[in-house]
Amino acid sequence: MRVGMILEKELPVNPPDLRVEKEARSLVAAGYDVDILSLKINSTLDREIVNGLNTHRIPINMLSINEWEEELVERHFHSKDSPWVKAVEEFIEKNCIDAVHVHDLPLAWVSRCAATKMKIPIILDMHEVYPPMVEFMRSNNRTPWDPVNWVAQFERECVNNADRVIVTVEESKTRLIRLGIPEKKIVVVMNTENMDNMTGRNSGQNYVKDYNDKFIVTYVGAFGEIRGLEYLITATHKLLTQIPNIHLMLVGGGYNKPELEKLVDDLDIRRCVTITDWVGFEEVPRLIDISDVCAIPHIKNGFVDTTIPHKLFQYMLMAKPVVSTNIAPVERIVNECRCGVVVPDRDPGALSEALAMLAKSNDMRKQLGDNGQKAAMEKYNWKMEAEKLLALYGEVGKCNW
């Protein structure tokens, strides 16, 4: 079977799209042929092997956020006029695609139009849950109008018209079932990590000289209001008298980085906070390796309550205790695995108390870290999730579409 993945990004992506690459490589390793249709933005090549994946590019300009919102409406109501429809049809025809695997909601409808015309199945891979995400953006004035209702309707139509739907966590599956989507149509493939990427290394030794004798708290991932990083910075400030050697590392990037930098300067804690840009994926385990505690301070809302961050499983595989806010999937897994401490969101006092408790006890940190690593090695790893993905495609391959 030849699988055609549709992606509204340009490969290679910085930061890398871990989910796309893991899924594609797992399919290739199992004997499937995989072609990826992506945007052409910076590359000069229309076709290229990227990280071992056969990548095709189309020259459609990246849209700004407001243009993206307008274009999403147009794709929904005027999908036959979208340039993506023709591009996907040609991609399917030229590469003899047997099944379309579309990554995320924005291109789901146009991909369905093309797949239906070509009489092949479509798998919708919902990396994100867009209606609550857009609702959060609206509440934080990140969008000038209220698109929640039409995004919800757009999502419902796309999910109803997909042959199979992949979600990242059980809470997202439960949400779709409550919306009336048949359970047999939904498969959970979590954002777990490949064990080989994170374990069996003492890679952090290169960084020890820079952070010697520090109590290091690390966050890895995207920045933004929804990540709650300002509360983690404030908690660090609160802890300076209790833990004078505390050092906070925020590893990633995002549009609110200048605001975070300003908060650090306003609190006069530049000496104990490092904020990086995006780093290469190979650097992530090295930075986690030297950490004492790893954090997920996300703000609780309908979006983060139905998704799961890669970072949780990266922390677990590296045997690091996790301090997280009470976002539903992370709270469930942390409590199940006994691998960390869960606190209320938007509460720097609760964050500081949890970090202070862990700073006082090496034994507690080790026990929580060991618990997480054991759970990740036995259950929460990409090998287990890849089996679900392959089972789905085995089922799709047996159907007469």
Residue range 203-228: mean pLDDT, rounded: 83
pLDDT at 39 over 70: yes
pLDDT at 59 over 60: yes
Residue range 113-127: mean pLDDT, rounded: 95
Q: Report percent pLDDT > 90 for the chain.
A: 72
Distances (CA, A) of 94 to 32, 81, 91, 149, 400: 17, 21, 5, 37, 22
The dihedral over CA atoms of 134, 137, 142, 148, expressed in degrees to the nearest 10, equals 40
pLDDT at 64 over 50: no
Q: What is the pLDDT of residues 80-98, one digit of tens each?
A: 567 788 889 999 999 999 9
CA atoms within 13 A on the CB side of 399: 15
Domains and CATH numbers, the chain: 2-192+382-398 (3.40.50.2000), 195-378 (3.40.50.2000)
Q: Report percent pLDDT > 70 for the chain.
A: 89
The predicted pLDDT at position 312 comes to: 98
108-118 and 83-94 helices cross at what angle (nearest 10)? 40
By mean pLDDT, which of 32-46, 111-125, 266-280 is the weakest? 32-46
Q: Exposure pattern of 87-123 as b/e (b: 16+ CB <10 Å)?
A: bbbebbeeeebbbbbbbbbbbbbbbbbbbeebebbbb
Q: Three-state DSSP class for 292?
A: coil
CA atoms within 13 A on the CB side of 134: 22
By mean pLDDT, which of 91-105, 144-158, 291-305 is the weakest? 144-158
Q: What is the pLDDT of residues 163-201, one digit of tens each?
A: 999 999 999 999 999 999 999 999 999 999 998 887 655
The predicted pLDDT at position 75 comes to: 46
The predicted pLDDT at position 76 comes to: 43
Task: Report how far residue 292's alpha carbon sits from residue 216's, in angstroms, rounded to the nearest whole number.
Answer: 5
pTM of this prediction?
0.91
The predicted pLDDT at position 304 comes to: 95
pLDDT at 70 over 70: no
By mean pLDDT, which of 126-130, 146-150, 155-159, 378-382 is the weakest? 146-150
Question: Is residue 138 very low, low, confident or very high in pLDDT (cuts 50, 70, 90)?
Answer: confident
- Is there a cis peptide before residue 12, judged by omega within 30 degrees of 0? yes
Residue range 349-372: mean pLDDT, rounded: 98
By mean pLDDT, which of 27-36, 45-54, 326-335 is the weakest? 45-54
Q: What is the pLDDT of residues 16-36, one digit of tens each?
A: 788 999 999 999 999 999 999
pLDDT at 300 over 70: yes
What are the φ/ψ torsions at residue 161 (nearest 5 degrees)? -95, -5
DSSP 307: -
Q: Three-state DSSP class for 279?
A: coil
Task: Report how far residue 9's alpha carbon sits from residue 155's, in angstroms, rounded to the nearest whole number.
Answer: 20
Task: Report how far residue 293's alpha carbon sits from residue 305's, in angstroms, rounded to the nearest whole number.
Answer: 22
The predicted pLDDT at position 209 comes to: 64
The predicted pLDDT at position 332 comes to: 98
The predicted pLDDT at position 210 comes to: 73
Task: Report how far residue 186's alpha carbon sits from residue 388's, in angstroms, rounded to the nearest whole number.
Answer: 11
Whether 46 contacts 4, CB under 8 Å = no
Two tokens at 288? 């986690």
